[in-house]
Structure 1
Amino acid sequence: MPNRRHFLTISALYALAGCLGGCQRTSETTLQINTLRGSISPQLLTLFRQNQGQMVSLDLKPLEQLQELFVVLQDAAMRIPETSENFLNRSAAVPDLLTLGHGWYQQAIALGFVQPLSLEELTRWEELGEPWQRFLRRNVQGEIDPQGQLWGQPYRWGTTMLVYRKDKLKNLGWTPTDWADLWRPELQGKISLLNQSREVLGLLLKKRGKSYNETDPEAIANLESDFQTLHRQVKFYSSTHYLQPLNMGDTWIAQGWSQDILPLLQRYRNLGAVIPASGTALWCDLWVQPQRSQTSFETLKTWLDFCWEPAAIQQISRSSHGASPLIYAATNLDPAITDNPLIYLDQNTFRASEIIEMLNPEVTAQYQQVWQAVRQG
């Protein structure tokens, strides 16, 4: 899921990253980090520099999309280990850390692209609550395992939400609060949904009080009639081009991802957004260490610990169009954060929300069968 920012912000990030990575040649350690553009703000980098001084610097390489970062991780798995001959060749270096989208987490582990991290050694590990700790522990096949190892550190998360035209719905006398509002007859032909089967069928499950990760065959099969009714409401499905039609008034409400939507709310005052009260899908970005990286965890710990410090929790939640996974463990947060229900979710809604997990092939096939039967019928 791409996350773009304005030109001046991009320029500032490049300038600061360059200074951190290139100007401080006297630093004892330089961490090479590949990250998703916009997920680490210049303000956060400034905080880190102020905290660490000359001890650790960052050589940051922002990429546009999570898919690109996964390709870098895959490529790094094929690289030869660093030697004295290629030490000075920056293009040949395997990054010390890399941003991985949660959707690639299981695959990266199963393919041996990443190595375990001793996250229990981080100062605030015990404060990391659910659903994060359960999601992180995996066996070597990448499957969730309470006894498994830890392969990534979440540093930013967000949600699937509803974004809508305030002016259009004001004329109807209501604003959306939950997924069930999508079935209102006055919205027929005015809705767009993500072109993702698990996101769409998941909202149907949430409407019924069930889990996004439902595995009961009967419960999944029963979604078809509900989906057929919702499908008649939908103008189109898209995971990439749903905001422009909304802004132009071709649609009045859209299902979308928070990292796409939140920046738009600041620019277009006619747009509003809501987290469905019955719960929604969560996404997260994680720091992972490529398998061939030879940097010690003790060295990585400087940056990983910092990302969970109170000042970093605040800055990530304020400037990254996402929230820190420790946001609910933090105290003295800025009211600009706690008063924003799109970042600081209602606790009941958050507890009812879930990360969409990979399911076994048989269950996945059943979801696809329902999806295709309605979409192609």
Structure 2
Amino acid sequence: MKRHLTAAVAAGAVLAGATAAKAEGELFLYNWSNYFPPELLTKFEEETGIAVTLDVYDSNETMLAKLQAGAGGYDVIVPSGYMVAILIEEGLAQQIDTLSMSNGTKVVAPHDAPFFDPERLYSAPYMWGTTGFTYNSARVEDKLEESWKEFFEPRPELQGEIALLNDEVEVYNAAAYYLGFNKCTESPEEAQAILDLLEAQKPHVKMYQSDGTIDRMISGEVIMHHQWNGASHRTWVDLPTAVYVYPEEGITFWTDNFMIPTDAPNAENARTFINWMLAPENAAIASNFTGYMNAIEGSSDYLDDALKANPAVNMPPEFADRLRPSIDCSVPARELRNRVWTRLKS
């Protein structure tokens, strides 16, 4: 799927007469689907005169494979933390030195020095959140346990009513948490146990799909969905009986980031975009749309009250010890994980 969102060049020219000189040209944004407010792109176009084209993907691995295959033309990509490290390692991203940008001082700790890019030389923060699961409490007999057990060993009323993200890393991590394994295990035996768990669950899974998780829950197509917490928040807005679960065995804490590919055709426009997105008001507009928190000081002044009130986003402090950071696994661990995923999906 591809959407083109552009503002009129003539309108930009008119605005330029009353404001600072505008940049010209294009920007090609490659982002997760349904992960950027269209009105914010319009705002950027109107304020800068840069026309934006948005292309979308459904997983970090899809984006990586496209870049590895030599697909050019993208100016800004939005990888998760562990993928940032891989892109740097493979020479697929250029330095941007985020903290030296005019809005770089607004990046708050610990997002100013993440493990995958400690000096923020290659990346800038976008959204951060967790990956758990959501269920419709109106369609189950009793409240579910705060455990991955409900997800991997579903009760009778949930069998065939579950959807998983089509995401190799998130699915594998969840299984590893439930089994008590290191998600970066290099043990073939533990990887086999993860595969066994996923294959036992598979007959009860309606689909593996990362797109449309919000609409799928609201429409009642499934009762339970593997979800990012921002998507759960947006589900809850229209489905108040939706409950987001922080499993006691562990839940991934992740960050998504802006990067510029090595061969970006409009690198300077990309830098303009990234710095613009670090402004508090713009970061807050993105948070209000996505349902995730950002890492920008001062953005809370612009956040919706509903976002602040939902425990799916504003995590209860007692769940802090359940957070497991997203990390870059070793090559042997990644190869094991990929073999498990390939077998599961075959």
TM-score (norm 1): 0.65
Residue number among 332, 336, 347 corresponding to 2:306 in the alignment: 336
The Cα offsets for residues 316-340 of structure 1, whole Å up to 9 and x where unpaired, read as 211234331347x855454322112
Does residue 116 of the first structure (1) align with residue 95 of the second (2)?
A: yes
Instruction: Give 1:109 shift.
Output: 3.6
Instruction: Give 1:44 shift.
Output: 3.8
For the structure 1 residues 168 and 99, does the alpha-carbon distance in structure 2 shift closer, same or farther, using more than 3 Å as the test? Answer: same
Q: Kindly indicate whether structure 1 or structure 2 has the higher relative contact order, using CA contacts under 8 Å at least 6 residues apart.
A: 2
The residue number in structure 1 matching 2:279 is 309
Does residue 100 of the first structure (1) align with residue 71 of the second (2)?
A: no
Tell me how large the CA RMSD over aligned residues is.
Answer: 4.5
Q: Would you say the 8 A contact 1:21–1:30 is kept in 2?
A: no
CA distance in 1: counterparts of 2:57 and 2:13, whole angstroms: 24
Residue number among 21, 28, 31 corresponding to 2:21 in the alignment: 28
SS at match of 2:293: coil
Larger Rg: 1
How many residues align? The count is 328
The Cα offsets for residues 74-130 of structure 1, whole Å up to 9 and x where unpaired, read as 444xxxxxxxxxxxxxxxxx66x4133337645544554431111231433662415
Gaps of 5+ in 1: 5-9, 77-93, 138-147
Residue number among 22, 35, 41 corresponding to 2:37 in the alignment: 41
SS at match of 1:136: coil
Residue number among 217, 226, 232 corresponding to 1:255 in the alignment: 226
Residue number among 107, 132, 148 corresponding to 1:179 in the alignment: 148
Q: Would you say the 8 A contact 1:163–1:271 is kept in 2?
A: no
1:1-377 matches, within 5 Å, as 14=5, 16=7, 24=15, 28-30=21-23, 32-35=26-29, 36=31, 38-41=34-37, 44=40, 56-65=48-57, 74-76=70-72, 97-102=75-80, 105-106=84-85, 108-122=87-101, 123-124=104-105, 127-129=108-110, 133-137=114-118, 150-169=121-140, 172-175=141-144, 177-182=146-151, 183-186=153-156, 187-208=158-179, 211-215=182-186, 219-223=190-194, 226-227=197-198, 230-231=201-202, 234-240=204-210, 243=213, 251-257=222-228, 263-267=234-238, 269=239, 272-278=242-248, 279-282=250-253, 284-292=255-263, 303-326=273-296, 331-332=300-301, 333-346=303-316, 348-349=319-320, 352-355=323-326, 357=328, 359-360=330-331, 362-368=332-338, 370=340
SS at match of 1:192: strand
Q: Would you say the 8 A contact 1:119–1:125 is kept in 2?
A: no
Further displaced range: 288-297 or 312-321: 288-297
Q: Would you say the 8 A contact 1:156–1:323 is kept in 2?
A: yes
CA distance in 2: counterparts of 1:256 and 1:49, whole angstroms: 31
CA distance in 2: counterparts of 1:135 and 1:168, whole angstroms: 40
Q: Would you say the 8 A contact 1:337–1:344 is kept in 2?
A: yes
For the structure 1 residues 162 and 59, does the alpha-carbon distance in structure 2 shift closer, same or farther, using more than 3 Å as the test? Answer: same
Q: Would you say the 8 A contact 1:215–1:363 is kept in 2?
A: yes
For the structure 1 residues 16 and 266, does the alpha-carbon distance in structure 2 shift closer, same or farther, using more than 3 Å as the test? Answer: farther
- How much identity, in percent, do the aligned residues show? 16
CA distance in 1: counterparts of 2:327 and 2:207, whole angstroms: 19
TM-score (norm 2): 0.70
SS at match of 2:116: helix
For the structure 1 residues 19 and 241, does the alpha-carbon distance in structure 2 shift closer, same or farther, using more than 3 Å as the test? Answer: same
Gaps of 5+ in 2: none
